[in-house]
Structure 1
């Protein structure tokens, strides 16, 4: 997914003293190709107030990383996800959730992901061509959660809809979702099995079972991590490897490179291009100061292409020594679903390579990434043999 040679954004206007003023993130052309704007911001406007967009923009890697970890910059309301919890409340919730995704629970989760990935991949075996976005990427995250939790397969469509509309990757539990989960939780408490939901329902913290609210929160974390952003990240990941068949062949020969390929894709083409924060107090950053109460847009898509941090940043290279870790947040609000999304990406790629030995772009097809808040190819048309 190489950037077009010609910028898609409108030419920057001349500002005071001849300085060129970048276009706004709200400009429709920016969504078609934001990278020329990102370069302009990094080179001359590291902290810029984008009035049409309604936020202060941070574009350099060091500034974005610092902002994501700064306790004075919090997630704007509304919401009751982990990102909206601060100080001791956030730490207490994270301490409760994190152990729930280890040990037996992690093993059950891995088994569910593997089962879902191989079922979806095998469905493509007898096809000459397939769209991996429509037939694999959009379904794998939700199908993996359903399989791991031991929910009926028929729940996959409803889980996918929850992930798109009601949940974030940070673990919100809307009332409707929690109400739908409670009967399943009650059944697992009465008759536990070997699935992930049973493991969570029988887990103990300080000698006591996790309350229903905590179990629902853990499940919502996974449902959110298995949402649209993960499917988009998986689509960008596959597009990068299909664009670089020599590196794809290396992964076939050396599966231990799978995690490195995922990390490099998240750096170069993250699914989420910006994260919003609100300043609780004046915050010095990017050579200036963000005023209290202001909204800050941390441009992850720009930070990952910062030449001050990464050599030849537009190039995809699975051997990059340190691709960074900003795609799923930083600091206290780093997403709890990171291991799960990495598991989905690795297992999904392994399943596809095993089922489709001739995997390559369909003749004449080129992926077309779209979007700004979230960005990924709308289709991945491949030949399967």
Structure 2
């Protein structure tokens, strides 16, 4: 095991500017690091991150302090029968016929409305005008809430993500997150109670009515799930669209291939999840001492799993520093299931319940963007990425003027 003074510091300004060279050093020389400031062990190799996601010795008890203060108790903190029951209560709405018939039209409508606002704007920042708003608007509409509340939800989403990304524990950010938690509960709990009494044809009503073996979600559990959906569903899709468009614009031959064959959008999404994932780190906590590359992690410790590093591990992928939607060591047909051979959606029992929703949003949103932009290029060069916990360009200015 490596002490922090001998290894890259993930809280340093240099790391935040460009973590990828440091990820390589960590994988090769310091696969297990103890970070005193974060009170966490850090792992970076694919096999170790995969083990932390799959092996039942690893739990999500760290979410008790990481997520609960801002979301309330969520499905991510549950294990065993409780987790299985709650996952079954919510998962049906995010796959299969329910997703296709009920929510695909919602996704298409929101994408179309945002793209209509892009027309005539040139150059345009795709982050501000589309990526950061599209998934939040979709979630608000899926829940059957007023469109007039889109901006309010966007503000709550921004506040909660700041709380979750607050690795240095800034007290002002923590206080703002707590205020958002209270505001969100005061807004949503009365609506949940109204939907129980008078259900509609929306996701919130579906959650209120869902029942398995006589068990239903409480008002607080539905509120916590919606809060989690707002960030987990918003942040990942927001940053995935941004990073995917950047990656394709940097590789015009691959962009041309996707434009010619829209079935390749799924492959471009999967490769983006490997190459530049929206979420770069997820934490776990082992119930027993566990051996990983570089040493033994004691029971009860926090383990920070660097997804962004694992996705570029040359022990697992060929030429991992190259963005390649045609690579043969990443299986697109499995990329949005628990059998995925990337780590961006986690694996095992906590595999992302919204993976198919994200895939559907990406396919529709990016497909419509390409339809609306027959020509597209960077306005002023490729933008830098930003962020440590989650990461993507904060702006993506493009020029759609024909050459």
TM-score by length of 2: 0.81
Structure 2 SS opposite 1:276: strand
The aligned counterpart of 1:333 is: 350
TM-superposed CA distance for 1:191, in Å, is 5.2
Deviations 1:129-166 (A, max 9, x none): 10011111110111111222332111111222333334
The aligned counterpart of 1:139 is: 133
Q: Which segments of 5 or more consecutive residues in structure 1 lack a partner in the other structure?
A: 1-14
Residue 289 in structure 1 maps to residue 296 in structure 2: yes
Correspondence for 1:361 among 378, 389, 401: 378
Q: Is the 8 A contact 2:30 2:294 kept in 1?
A: no
Correspondence for 2:42 among 57, 74, 78: 57
Equivalences for residues 184-333 of structure 1 within 5 A = 184-189=191-196, 192-201=199-208, 205=212, 212=219, 215-216=222-223, 219-323=226-330, 324-333=341-350
Correspondence for 2:391 among 359, 365, 375: 375
- C-alpha change, 1:155 and 1:239, in structure 2 (3 Å) is same
Within 1, Cα distance between the matches of 2:85 and 2:17? 41
Within 2, Cα distance between the matches of 1:290 and 1:207? 40
Correspondence for 2:90 among 97, 105, 124: 97
Count, aligned residues: 364
Within 2, Cα distance between the matches of 1:263 and 1:213? 34
- Which stretch has the larger CA shift, 284-293 or 114-123? 284-293
- Which stretch has the larger CA shift, 49-58 or 328-337? 49-58
- C-alpha change, 1:176 and 1:29, in structure 2 (3 Å) is same
Q: Is the 8 A contact 1:105 1:199 kept in 2?
A: no
Within 2, Cα distance between the matches of 1:103 and 1:248? 29
Structure 1 SS opposite 2:304: strand
Deviations 1:74-95 (A, max 9, x none): 3313222222212332222212
- C-alpha change, 1:339 and 1:309, in structure 2 (3 Å) is same
- C-alpha change, 1:237 and 1:155, in structure 2 (3 Å) is same
- C-alpha change, 1:41 and 1:102, in structure 2 (3 Å) is closer
- C-alpha change, 1:206 and 1:72, in structure 2 (3 Å) is closer
Q: Which segments of 5 or more consecutive residues in structure 2 lack a partner in the other structure?
A: 165-179, 331-340
Within 2, Cα distance between the matches of 1:211 and 1:374? 30
Query: As a proportion of its length, which structure holds more helix?
Result: 2
- Which stretch has the larger CA shift, 27-36 or 48-57? 48-57
Structure 2 SS opposite 1:98: helix
- C-alpha change, 1:309 and 1:204, in structure 2 (3 Å) is same
Structure 2 SS opposite 1:142: helix
- Measured on the aligned residues, the alpha-carbon RMSD in Å equals 2.8
TM-superposed CA distance for 1:332, in Å, is 1.2
- Which stretch has the larger CA shift, 119-128 or 215-224? 215-224
Within 2, Cα distance between the matches of 1:42 and 1:278? 20
- C-alpha change, 1:215 and 1:100, in structure 2 (3 Å) is farther
TM-superposed CA distance for 1:281, in Å, is 2.0
Structure 2 SS opposite 1:319: coil
The aligned counterpart of 2:369 is: 352
